[in-house]
Amino acid sequence: MTEDFIQNIQFDLFAVELVIGETATLLMAEDYVTIREVFVNNVKVEPNDDKQIFLTSSGDSLWELSEGDIVVPVENRKYTSKTMYEVDMENGSTDKYLNEQGDFTTPIISHSGVTDKNAETTFQHIDTTITKETLAENDKVTIFDSVTGKIVLTDKNNIKARYIVNVTANTFVADTTYLDFPFKCEIEVTGVTSANNAEVTFSLTQATSGDLAPICVTDTNKVIIYAKSDLGSIVIPLIKVEVVI
Amino acid sequence: MRRIYQGESVRFQLNFQSGTDLTITDFTVFDSVKVEVQTVNYPIQEIDVDVEALTIKGIIPTNVTSNLFGNVFVFLTFTKGSEVWKNKVTTELYIDKQ
């Protein structure tokens, strides 16, 4: 025996979000969607006999007018203003900060936050304006990489020319290399090899005294100058060391 | 639209179909199921039904259909504790006069 009609019945859940403005009336449409429960601040609100729920805005009772039309919190109410940063910190999001556009959700990428600064495509993070007369052992220097078009850091030993100023030469010892200049002074310059060419610029007094040979020699980690006598301690204004390619 | 005539009995079957409310696994989870029918010309009438896990079967008796005229609407009321589910089914059934 067949039925005169067959109907499928299913039970579905619906999530209903209410956005209440100044006033709102919630109509309970029984034939289509039955709204079974309404909670306001975790308190269940029952509909009236006409199946309506009136949700009052509590905003009016939070503030009152004082003298001079100044709005103040009502009695027993206290309001504290906090910066968005403070609110964010309370919420445990320490990595978010208010940016210049007032966007609280977009973290600002700081210079220190960029781990691979040479990979940054938009901004140049290397400060090339610093003037430094001498280089320490662990110093890095900036060079323009003609391959990538970027300014990058490189070890100072990769620099082909080095300028060393105000170099003290104070250890002159007897030497037989040059007959006219029987003393030499080995000036320690780390990284120099015999493959380097060095140019020593003496001061005017030193250059015209005749006490110093007009040439110098390079060897492993040193530049050697020659003199007619033990000059004690002198300061050489400039030594330029470069690689002979 | 299926057409029958007043005084003829009507058999119907409601099949359970899984929805998104996973707490409702079949018709037996309800404490009571009430089925009512109505046409536009006559007050709502409650119908006796047999409730099984996946089906609800019933017959609109002749003494009821003899008073109905027009499209048949079925009102369903499911009760579980203090919770009530209501639904209205618009059938493809039309009761005509003899």
CB contact under 8 A, B10 and A34: no
CB contact under 8 A, B20 and A13: yes
pLDDT tens across A194-224, in order? Answer: 888 899 999 999 999 999 999 999 999 999 9
CB contact under 8 A, A34 and B85: yes
- Closest residue of A to B75, CA-based? A31
Q: Which helix (H) or strand (E) holds A207?
A: helix A204-208
- DSSP 3-state of A204: helix
Q: What are phi and psi of A76, to 5 degrees?
A: 70, 10
Alpha helices, H only, B1-98: 62-65
CA distance A2 to chain B (A): 8
SS (H, E, C) A79-125: CCCCCHHHHHHHCCCCCCCCCCCCCCCCCCCCCCCCCCHHHCCCCCC
> Does this model's pTM top 0.90?
no
ipTM of the complex: 0.85
pLDDT tens across B80-94, in order? Answer: 988 888 888 888 889
CA distance A49 to chain B (A): 17
- A74 Cβ neighbours under 8 A, 6+ residues apart: A61, A62, A63, A64
Q: Which helix (H) or strand (E) holds B98?
A: none
CB contact under 8 A, B11 and A1: yes
Q: Which helix (H) or strand (E) holds A146?
A: none
Tokens representing A64 are 């009152």
Q: Which helix (H) or strand (E) holds A177?
A: strand A172-178
